[in-house]
Amino acid sequence: MKRKYFKKYHNLPVTVMFLAPAFLIYTVFLFLPLILTLWYSLTTWNGVSAKVFAGLANYRELASSSDYWLTFSNTVKLTVISLIVQIGAGILLAYLLYSWTKGMKIFRTIYFLPVVIAPVAIGLMFSLFYNSEIGIFNKILTAVGLGRFATNWLSNPRTLLYAVMAPQVWQYIGLYVTIFLGALQSVPEDLIESAQIDGAGKLQSFFHVILPQITGFINICIILCLTGSLKAFDHSWIMTGGGPGVRSAYLGVFMYKSAFVNSDFGLGSAVTITIVAVSLTVTILFNWFAERKKG
């Protein structure tokens, strides 16, 4: 009995030694701040004076705030568009690179290059592109005879939100191209060759052979896209500051404005908790659905 117990637990100190650094880092930089944020969301606090317990007052204020629901709607739109464009374009471009191997490494680097550029730089660059006087978009429209569609993209209410979304959606396509390209390269070539011998064309092989083999990678990318969109901040803040009002703001921008611009850390913390809650809920539901479909 003692020998079995020893064999079972004699590696425990080594396991603890390797897990301890990651556990400490996550505890100090993730779990503790999250618990403190939850506490702050139940208080009225301006960051200087003493905290006053307010219960669910901040959450009730959010529930009745039209600005909050507008930013929530903007975030949902960004999430949906990101899923469609980033995942769709990522799979398509990755498959094209996979099928056409000549110069693949060069194009893979080109596609991935925007990902490593700071979002601040991307936001500033697109702000110049959108400029009604010197912006390249209006100049291209004028050059091809579509000058009537030229506008001040960041001032027009009809184009404002989508103009702010575009840089973020575009910037991270290369990330998913790289992930999907690695996934495609891991698919056994024997399966594809067998399907082609049986008469399957490239399109049939892609949908019936390749896609089922990379389902796990697709699920991971969807979760990355969902969580990345729900915490979006940089592009909106750099390009418009979330304005006018909160018309082009996401939940992250609304949280920042509430906490650091309006000095309402209780309300800002409540927004943060809602972001975390929505992210966890969506991730759990998606994983449950994926596992159920797989089973």
Q: What is the pLDDT of residue 207?
A: 83
Structure-token pair, residue 96: 């094209």
- 77 confidence band (pLDDT: 50, 70, 90): very high
**pLDDT over threshold 90, residue 110:** no
How would CATH label the architecture of 65-294? Orthogonal Bundle (1.10)
**pLDDT over threshold 80, residue 102:** no
Q: What is the pLDDT of residue 101?
A: 67
Q: What is the pLDDT of residue 2?
A: 47
Average pLDDT over every residue of 85-91: 95
Q: What is the pLDDT of residue 8?
A: 53
Percent of the chain with pLDDT over 70: 95
Highest mean pLDDT, choosing among 2-6, 186-190, 198-202: 186-190
* 171 contacts 119 by C-beta, under 8 angstroms: yes
**pLDDT over threshold 70, residue 295:** no
**pLDDT over threshold 70, residue 3:** no
Please, what is the average pLDDT of the chain?
A: 88
pTM of this prediction exceeds 0.85: yes
